[in-house]
Amino acid sequence: MKVYIISFLILASAFIYCHEHPTKEEIQNELNQKAIYYGSTLRIRNQNSRHHLYSMDVSYGSGSRGQVVTATESDSEIGSYFTIKHGHGKPIQTFTNTVKCGDIIRLEHINTGKNIYGSNHASPVSNKLEISAQGQNGESDGNDNFVIECIGQSKGSDLVGKTEFYLQHLNTSQFLTTSRRFSFNQNNCGFNCPIMNHLEVSCQRSKDNETKWKIVGGIILQKSQFSNDNDKDPLNDYDDDDDDDEEHYNPSSNTKKDANVEEDEYEEVNFNRRDDL
């Protein structure tokens, strides 16, 4: 009997549940091999500018007056995390479903609960299609739907970490873009601008190098497989309650073990069973 659990793979953070602190290169190499599941929280980088998709609780003063969406060079901004979920009006996808190339998706900003959103307003710097973040508690309308168009992978295949992709706004057929040529400064944003030196994020009609994106970190949901000859779930039978009379299954030896063991022995067993790290 196979028992499935969901485990969190924490990527691009200051600490990973491991015996060593991996380098950024090691983290990226690990991420590159992972299929992306719905419900994962992602950090997405533009491949040309090397800036990361970003939002914050500040609104544009014109156009849609929606929440700003920009791109930042920093790779540690908390505002650069977005949860990937099924498209508005589309079948519900859960953390047991992988994101497929060609899927219609939404990106919800984790700090504000607003979705990346396209409209027919002109963007403030480049005069392209404005991109903002709108909605409440992750709900908006069809203008927050984007199609993931994978580069070098066929439609219907799993989106994996190494894949570069385009994000095509469904209602306008335009592509999410950012460029170092269009940044916010004192001339177009004024003094004390909260997004000073950020790059504008917009949509444009055609694909080019400035419309290529890639996942470079985040909290990536993964489905790990565990099998047990005794048709039991070792993780359900093995917990940390300090009950002196309770015995616990030890998955490394197929024997039962008294609850009074050292805490690091618990961690070692749990870690050894996590084959997604």
Task: For 81-93, write each residue's pLDDT tens digit.
Answer: 999 999 999 999 9
pTM: predicted TM-score of the whole model, two decimal places: 0.74
What is the pLDDT at residue 20?
61
3-class SS of residue 5 = strand
Please give the average per-residue pLDDT across 176-200, as a whole number.
Answer: 95
Pairwise CA distance, residues 17 & 127, whole Å: 45
Q: Take residue 56 and report the two structure tokens written for it.
A: 């914050």
Cα 5 versus chain centre, distance: 20
Counts for the chain of helices (H) and strands (E), in that order: 4, 15
Intra-chain end-to-end CA distance of the chain, in Å? 23
CB-based contact 199:185 (threshold 8 Å): no
- The CATH class of the 28-221 domain is mainly beta
CB neighbours of 186 closer than 8 A, spacing ≥ 6?
Answer: 193, 196
Least confident stretch, 8-22, 99-113, 199-213, 228-242: 228-242
Q: Where are the domains of the chain?
A: 28-221, 234-273
CA dihedral in degrees (148, 149, 153, 158; nearest 10)? 10
Tokens 């306008």 belong to residue? 172
Q: Work out the mean pLDDT of the chain and round it to a whole number.
A: 79
- Dump pLDDT digits (tens) for 15-56: 344 446 778 788 778 888 899 999 999 999 999 999 999 999
What is the pLDDT at residue 19?
42
- Look at 258 and 96; give whichever has higher pLDDT: 96
Pairwise CA distance, residues 157 & 179, whole Å: 29
Radius of gyration of the chain (CA): 22
CB neighbours of 178 closer than 8 A, spacing ≥ 6?
Answer: 46, 49, 51, 70, 71, 199, 200, 201, 202, 210
Pairwise CA distance, residues 53 & 9, whole Å: 21
Task: Give whole-number Cα distances, 128 to 121, 182, 241, 265, in Å.
Answer: 8, 11, 58, 57
Pairwise CA distance, residues 194 & 55, whole Å: 11
For residue 235, pLDDT over 50 is answered with no
3-class SS of residue 19 = coil
